[in-house]
Structure 1
């Protein structure tokens, strides 16, 4: 099958079954923020991923609340999470982050919410192709989608590691700079104190000779 037929089929399959939202949000100190997604079909798969990129100890509290205010999952002081669960109820799901633990530290949070409805849409079949050929093509596309999703997760993981390591380097540089300033100030103070003590002794010695 030519690429001109394969890519529209892939787009039709993916666009009709998955809706996703990827955002980066800056949490203010003592802030609680919630994000919403609607599930129109019972049994849909919901993928929820988040990672704290910067701020404090890179941790955040989270809660996932389903329809009828039922808590689906929650966690405290988590740095990163990657979950997939089945929506047993139709309605609005709420994904909340809580930074009330921090009194002055901002936190940058990357997160993604993806809803995959079941059953999957059928790929438009080419004229003259058998159901077996269509099934093999669909399976190949789904496998490709899964592999792309895995690569995307790995890229996010490496990005999170890079941001955290960079934040650690900046924090270390800041501490070294402050320590150097304190050390320089102490050296200047000690030099001034030594000059004062020497002058005091010489002035006392002159008075003794007089």
Structure 2
């Protein structure tokens, strides 16, 4: 007995809800003081997937060190002095996975880091899975990628705005200094030329 397409709709909607429930996204913005590091932990099971995307939004040269380690403290990802980055892993064992942002290389500047953590629980794909469900899963991943790109653009816009405001302030103060210097030079020239027309009397 075949199931009518409209009868599958509730099942597909239920699958979509479960799919979104199985995807967890956490967005954070932290400030890392100079010569310090911040570490976070995620408990994963075998075959779970985790993706960390980050962007340095302020401080110093806009760079940060990043690494991600498994429960046995084996480094899975290492990235040094990056302004933006992405790290994706598939858990090979159960346990607590650690990822850290390090600002140890900087002795003066604090860093502001925005990052997202995407956790996808492992769900085995049935070879008889309906094509519509596969498309829904692909669509969910595409939507998440678009969301990541939008957040990246927002952070970049903030960085460029801060740079533009800083440049504008420097140009303003440079213009003021030039005006003061020009006034002083003009005053000195007037005084110096005036001395040529002064009559010096010899007693």
* TM-score bin, normalised by smaller chain: 0.7 to 0.9
Scaled by the length of structure 2, what TM-score is found? 0.81
5 Å-filtered alignment, 1:78-93, equals: 78-93=82-97
Q: Which moved more, 1:191-200 or 1:165-174?
A: 191-200
- 2:40 paired with 1:60: no
Q: CA deviation at 1:201?
A: 4.9
Structure 2: which 5+ residue stretches go unaligned? Answer: 1-5
Q: Aligned partners of 2:65 and 2:130: how far apart in 1?
A: 43
Q: Aligned partners of 1:191 and 1:6: how far apart in 2?
A: 81
Q: Aligned partners of 2:12 and 2:86: how far apart in 1?
A: 31
- 2:160 paired with 1:169: no
Partner of 1:71: 75
Post-superposition Cα deviations, 1:16-52, rounded to whole Å, max 9, x if no partner, equal x33332111122333311122111x122211111111
Q: CA deviation at 1:101?
A: 3.0
Q: Aligned partners of 1:120 and 1:25: how far apart in 2?
A: 35
Structure 1: which 5+ residue stretches go unaligned? Answer: 123-130
Partner of 2:3: none
Match of 1:158 among 150, 153, 165: 153
CA contact (8 A) 1:13 1:121 kept: no
State the Cα RMSD in Å: 2.8
Post-superposition Cα deviations, 1:144-196, rounded to whole Å, max 9, x if no partner, equal 21221221122123223322322231232122122112212211322343344
Is the partner of 1:14 in helix, strand or coil?
helix
5 Å-filtered alignment, 1:83-162, equals: 83-120=87-124, 135-162=130-157
Partner of 2:176: 181
Q: CA deviation at 1:10?
A: 1.5
| Aligned length, in residue pairs | 197
Q: Aligned partners of 1:121 and 1:148: how far apart in 2?
A: 20
Q: Which has the higher helix share?
A: 1
Scaled by the length of structure 1, what TM-score is found? 0.78
